[in-house]
Amino acid sequence: MSGALRLVIFDVDGTLVDSQGDILAAMGEAFDAVDLPRPSRATVLGIVGLSLEVAMARLAPEADHARMVQAYKDAYMTLRAKTGAAQSSPLYPGARETLERLQSAPDVLLGVATGKSKRGLDKLIEAHALENVFVTRQVADFHPSKPHPSMIYQAMSDAGVKPQDTVMIGDTSFDMEMAAAAGVSGFGVSWGYHPVSALSAAQLVLDEFSALEGALQALWRASA
């Protein structure tokens, strides 16, 4: 293996944390705000990962999207305040341990790329005591929605890492399409919000966090 720095970028919702309860409830409030019937669970989870404005436009093309986005944000903050982010968006099994092991490797840097707002991501990271884990945090406030590659480009720039040494980890087709658009490797995960059949752009799909480190080592050995 070469001495190059490696960058592993994680999606958040559906990859690191299971936030579907709050997402579904907040989306229901957004549809209530514009007097539209609430969409199905599968429909809502199908747009997780997109920026809110883009998601609302897909779900309700003719509605007042600004009103829906504000209703969603208000509801999400209220729900999070009731139970706390660590409880309402728990880490998936093995996530913390995997992050800790990867962070301890001298040639590995970690980042996140998410459709969340900066405020939402900062609250979540604080709740899970992950403040010192990620060297780069890319959020919806400053980028076009996934699958545009802007988030990955900025993460690589922040970390000083080349595309061939970067891997995107995510649960949605948007994550894998973003990785492909940025020219980096993409690993899908099976425990998130898109079915595995939607992850056709992924180089491989992981069934548990414990498999990630071995998959990364195999990728990096092959590219060395």
**pLDDT, tens digit, for every residue of 180-190?**
999 999 999 99
Quote the CA–CA distance of 101 and 39 in Å, as a whole number.
39
Indicate which residue of 11, 18, 22, 165 is catalytic.
11
Task: Give 27-76 pLDDT, tens digit per residue.
Answer: 999 999 999 999 999 999 999 988 899 999 999 999 999 999 999 999 98
Strand order in the sheet with 108-113: 136-138, 108-113, 6-10, 166-170, 185-189, 204-206
Which pair of structure tokens corresponds to residue 190?
């099976």
Residue tagged 């898109």 (tokens): 194
- Would you place residue 125 in the very low, low, confident or very high pLDDT band (cuts 50, 70, 90)? very high
On average, the pLDDT of the chain sits at 94
Closest to 212 (Cα-Cα) out of 130, 91, 102: 102
pTM, 2 dp:
0.92
Quote the CA–CA distance of 173 and 193 in Å, as a whole number.
10
Q: Is there a catalytic annotation at residue 13?
A: yes
| Dihedral sign (CA 145, 149, 153, 159) | positive
pLDDT exceeds 60 at position 2: no
Indicate which residue of 13, 22, 165, 175 is catalytic.
13
Q: Quick one: pLDDT at residue 1?
A: 39
74-88, 105-119, 148-162: which range is least confident on average? 74-88
